[in-house]
Structure 1
Amino acid sequence: GRGHFVYSGIALREPATDRTVTEVVETVVRMREYDDAEVAAYVASGDPLDKAGGYAVQNAAFHPVAGLEGCYANVMGLPLCHLARLLRGWGIAIPNDVPTACQAHTGWECRVYAALWTTP
């Protein structure tokens, strides 16, 4: 039932001009209650062994997360809408359906993209 923060850093750099933009994306994650047998089975599955935080938010069998505030894709490893917004800010054409595609892939109803995803 404890919570923690997940941070991802994004940095874009244009070598020709040395133009750089950075952003840190924060997501608050609240874990669900689970017992020792569940943890042992999850570790035995091998799934957490290559995860930065020791769990996969998207793991349907273990389902470690009770809820979160912020970007679900950030917890998976790449806050896609945030990256797309930064690229758009540099004039790079990005499809308008990035938030929809991200939600379809994660299966999570995104509550943050509307605040940052605006058509220029």
Structure 2
Amino acid sequence: MIFASNSSPKLILASASPRRQQLISLLGLPVDILPSQVDEDTPDDWSPAQIVEGLSLRKALAVKEKLTNPSDESSIIVGSDTIVVLKGDVMGKPRDEEDAIRMLSLLSGETHEVYTGVTCVRVSDSKMITSHRVTKVKMRKCSEQQISRYVATGEPMDKAGAYGIQEIGSLLVESIEGCYFNVVGLPVSLLAVQLEQFDIVVP
């Protein structure tokens, strides 16, 4: 069993998200960043859990295919994907400002679910573990003007459901039930449990 230290196996985060990069650093393990840049289309009949688990796995495996350095053999690739689900409808990132306003208007005053899937893949033997976590989020009832002002900040444009709970978007949230970091985009406690299955213990 390996305890987190400077000699621990390196993690490779398959994401360009600065939020995920910040969260994964909490584990105290060495981390490289290598965005996956995969196609994120999924079959129409996939459940929310299938979507986030499937895409997190797709991202991790895409990065594995890119690796050519022998020093990466002991590394563990971490893929993650987040979606917002309102009354069974899946919301990813908004296409434009109009789409962001539409999403936030639907979420206003409602309770939705945030799903985040996490996959770990060890480069040396392709051992992989995939799972997900769900958090319920209740949004404040917001006016059209409030929503428009928030969208004008630009913050919603790269976020599932068009809001960031860790930034200005926190002003739109009334309450949450479950893991806060799951809503940000990487449930670090779930990731820590997965790493234990690779004999890595954090902290």
**TM-score if structure 1 supplies the norm length?**
0.71
Shift in Å, 1:88: 2.0
Per-residue CA shift, 1:65-104, capped at 9, x if unaligned? 1111111111111111110121123211311xxxxxxxxx
Aligned to 2:126: 18
Shift in Å, 1:15: 3.4
- Distance 1:62-1:21 versus aligned 2 partners, 3 A rule: closer
Per-residue CA shift, 1:22-58, capped at 9, x if unaligned? 1111111111111111111101111111212200112
Aligned to 1:54: 162
Shift in Å, 1:5: 1.0
Q: Which amino acid aligns with 1:10?
A: V
Aligned to 1:77: 185
Structure 1 unmatched ranges of 5 or more: 96-120
Task: Decide which structure has the larger Cα Rg and report it.
Answer: 2
Q: How many angstroms apart in 2 are the aligned matches of 1:61 and 1:16?
A: 40
List 4+ stretches of structure 1 deviating above 6 A: none
Aligned length: 95
Q: Give the RMSD, CA atoms, in angstroms.
A: 1.6
Contact preservation (8 Å) 1:38, 1:62: no
Shift in Å, 1:17: 2.7
Identity fraction in percent: 38
Shift in Å, 1:60: 4.0
Shift in Å, 1:62: 5.9
